[in-house]
């Protein structure tokens, strides 16, 4: 039994953005366990007002430095839905391929650079450069492949340039795509080695029953558009997203919070797998089995493994997508855009979970109202409830301050939060 403890982590490291963890135990009673978000708001939803439709993807991509491709694609889909446009099959495939590569680079960045150091008891990935150069080289190689493919399809790995409402400004070189397809096949052993590495780590033994929200797969593991689903059985249409998110404001956070059937819910790789496990590629399901990951898993630390499983899935799916793309000659890259007044909603699965963009346009195609709901803002409340449960459980077990602090930090990192994104 822990009697007294005072943990105060100011600006948690190895996460995107600014958040604090506070845990206080006095005379054996948990007084406080708080996940505080102190990020400065940038007011994207206000900035967009009065801007013409073509500005939206360009500006909104800048919400996030890690998942700018996801934001750009969500923004484009919201505009296209508002203007009743249907993207061509070629555009759909290229967008999913581009998104897959963002998922791969983001998950690898998180797994190796942000999460792994905790399990290896080091402060950053940098000491590994001399102690385990092959591990760093593997991480860098996987990330580089994903990023190079983002350059090839999206024009740029960060804040993409070719992605526009209606399609693409230009199409990737077919020979390079074929080349990348071979490199993706060669990357599989690197992912399996990553699985072996993570198999040597011990995930904290903690679970809290949670509601998980994601897109609902119909025949595939879903990434762009479609119905919304929760593990508690809620199903909504894409444009009913507000009923799925129910945003509200709290004093401890400059980011809004969300809830659905319970006090909080979770989004992200683990939520996607919990809702859509059967649509994962068989090779990805095998990696999940290595870690005993099967739906519905309620251990938030398992999100690390869920990301790894998704890496395997997106690599196999990208190989398949490139096959399909190369089977037919390139079609017209871009459709004409005819603006009209109305509302457009997009739901897109980005690395950290489900992302919504919603714009209302006037007749000339100017934005009059904008709403973006970020995966991490949907996760903040769940992080808070997890943290309270975690502090309570491990304090009762008499864990030392430093260990509890590390577990609390690892808990937040497991969500791979994108805090500046969540405040936007």
Partner 1 sequence: MTETSGKKTFLGVPVYRPKVAFFELSSCEGCQLQILNNEGTLLDFLSLVEVVKFREGMSGGSDDYEIAFVEGSVTRPDEEARLKEIRKNAKILVAFGSCACFGGVNQLKNRFSLDWVKKEVYGDHPIETAEVKPLEAVVPVDLRIYGCPVKKEEVERIVTALAIGSDIAYPKYPVCMECKANGNICLFDVGEPCLGPITQAGCDAWCPNSRAGCWGCRGPAVDSNVEQLIRIMEQYGFSKDTIIDRLECFGGFASYAGQLRSGQKI
Q: Which residues are near partner 1 by CB under 8 A? A: 11, 13-17, 40-47, 49-52, 54-55, 58-59, 62-66, 68, 109, 113-114, 117, 123-126, 129, 136, 140-141, 143-144, 147, 155-159, 161-162, 164, 169-170, 249, 254, 420-421
How buried is residue 54: exposed, middle or buried, by Cβ count under 10 Å (0-12/13-18/19+)? Answer: middle
Kindly state the smallest distance separating residue 338's Cβ from partner 1, in Å: 15
Nearest to partner 1 of 157, 380 (CB atom): 157
Strands in 140-298 per DSSP E: 163-164, 167-168, 211-215, 228-230, 235-236, 265-266
CA geometry: angle 266, 65, 179, nearest 5 deg: 100
Least CB distance to partner 1 at residue 166 (A):
13
Tally Cβ neighbours within 10 Å of residue 144: 14
Contacts of 322 by beta carbon, 8 Å cutoff, 6+ apart: 97, 177, 178, 180, 181, 184
In this structure, what DSSP letter does residue 29 have?
E
Instruction: Tell the smallest beta-carbon distance from residue 224 to partner 1 (Å).
Output: 21
Quick one: 161 or 335, whose CB is closer to partner 1?
161
DSSP-assigned beta bridge partners for residue 367: 361
Q: In whole angstroms, how close is the CB of 252 to partner 1 at the nearest point?
A: 12
Name the phi and psi angles at 166, rounded to 5: 100, -15
User: Shortest distance, CB of residue 237 to partner 1, whole angstroms?
Assistant: 25
- To partner 1, the closest distance from the beta carbon of 169 in angstroms equals 4
Let me know: does 9 contact 21? Beta carbons within 8 Å: yes
CB of 209 or CB of 251, closer to partner 1:
251
Nearest approach, Cβ of residue 153 and partner 1 (Å): 11
CB of 140 to partner 1, least distance (A): 4
Residue with structure tokens 């996987």?
A: 142
Report the C-alpha gap between 299 and 348 in whole angstroms.
24
For partner 1, the closer of residues 186 and 218 by Cβ is 186
Q: 169 or 261: whose CB is closer to partner 1?
A: 169
Nearer to partner 1, 27 or 134 (CB): 134
Residues 6 or more apart whose Cβ sits within 8 Å of residue 364: 52, 339
Asked whether 417 and 15 are in contact (CB, 8 A), the reply is yes
Instruction: Report the nearest approach of partner 1 to the CB of residue 231 (Å).
Output: 30
Closest CA to 152 of 137, 136, 163: 163
For residues 62 and 298, which CB has a smaller minimum distance to partner 1 in the complex? Answer: 62
| Nearer to partner 1 among residue 147 and residue 266 (C-beta) | 147
Judge whether 344 and 359 are in contact, CB under 8 Å.
yes
Per the CB < 8 A criterion, the answer to whether 168 and 91 are in contact is: yes
Spatial contact of 34 and 387, defined as CB atoms under 8 Å apart: yes
């Amino acid at each position: 039994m822990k009697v007294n403890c005072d943990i105060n982590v100011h600006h948690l490291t190895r996460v995107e953005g600014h958040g604090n963890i506070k845990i206080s135990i006095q005379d054996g009673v948990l007084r406080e366990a708080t996940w505080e978000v102190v990020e400065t708001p940038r007011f994207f939803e206000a900035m967009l007002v009065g801007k013409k439709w073509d500005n939206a993807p360009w500006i909104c991509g800048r919400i996030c430095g890690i998942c700018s491709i996801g934001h750009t694609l969500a923004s484009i889909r919201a505009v296209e839905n508002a203007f009743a446009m249907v993207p061509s099959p070629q555009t759909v495939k290229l967008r999913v391929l581009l998104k897959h590569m963002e998922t791969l680079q983001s998950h690898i960045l998180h797994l190796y650079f942000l999460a792994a150091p905790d399990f290896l008891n080091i402060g950053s990935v940098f000491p590994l450069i001399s102690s385990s150069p092959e591990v760093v080289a593997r991480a860098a190689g996987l990330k580089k492949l994903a990023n190079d493919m983002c350059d090839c399809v999206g024009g740029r790995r960060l804040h993409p340039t070719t992605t526009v409402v209606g399609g693409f400004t230009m199409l990737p070189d077919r020979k390079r795509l074929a080349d990348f397809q071979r490199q993706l096949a060669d990357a599989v052993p690197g992912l399996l080695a990553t699985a072996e590495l993570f198999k040597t780590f011990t995930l904290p033994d903690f679970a809290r029953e949670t509601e998980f929200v994601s897109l609902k797969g119909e025949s595939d593991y879903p990434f762009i558009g479609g119905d919304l689903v929760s593990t508690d059985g809620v199903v909504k249409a894409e444009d009913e997203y507000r009923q799925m998110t129910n945003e509200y404001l709290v004093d401890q956070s400059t980011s809004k919070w969300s809830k659905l059937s319970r006090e909080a819910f979770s989004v992200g790789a683990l939520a996607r797998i919990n809702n859509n496990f059967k649509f994962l590629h068989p090779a990805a399901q095998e990696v999940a089995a290595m870690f005993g990951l099967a739906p519905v898993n309620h251990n938030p630390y398992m999100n690390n493994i869920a990301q790894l499983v998704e890496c395997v899935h997106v690599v196999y799916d990208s190989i398949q997508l490139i096959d399909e793309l190369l089977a037919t000659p390139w079609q017209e890259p871009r459709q004409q855009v005819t603006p009209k007044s109305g509302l457009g909603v997009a739901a897109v699965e980005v690395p950290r979970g489900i992302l919504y963009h919603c714009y209302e346009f006037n007749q000339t195609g100017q934005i009059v109202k904008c709403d973006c709901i970020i995966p991490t803002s949907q996760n903040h409340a769940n992080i808070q409830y997890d943290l309270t449960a975690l502090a309570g459980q491990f304090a009762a077990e008499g864990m030392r301050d430093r260990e509890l602090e590390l577990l609390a930090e690892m808990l937040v990192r497991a969500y791979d939060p994108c805090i500046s994104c969540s405040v936007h």
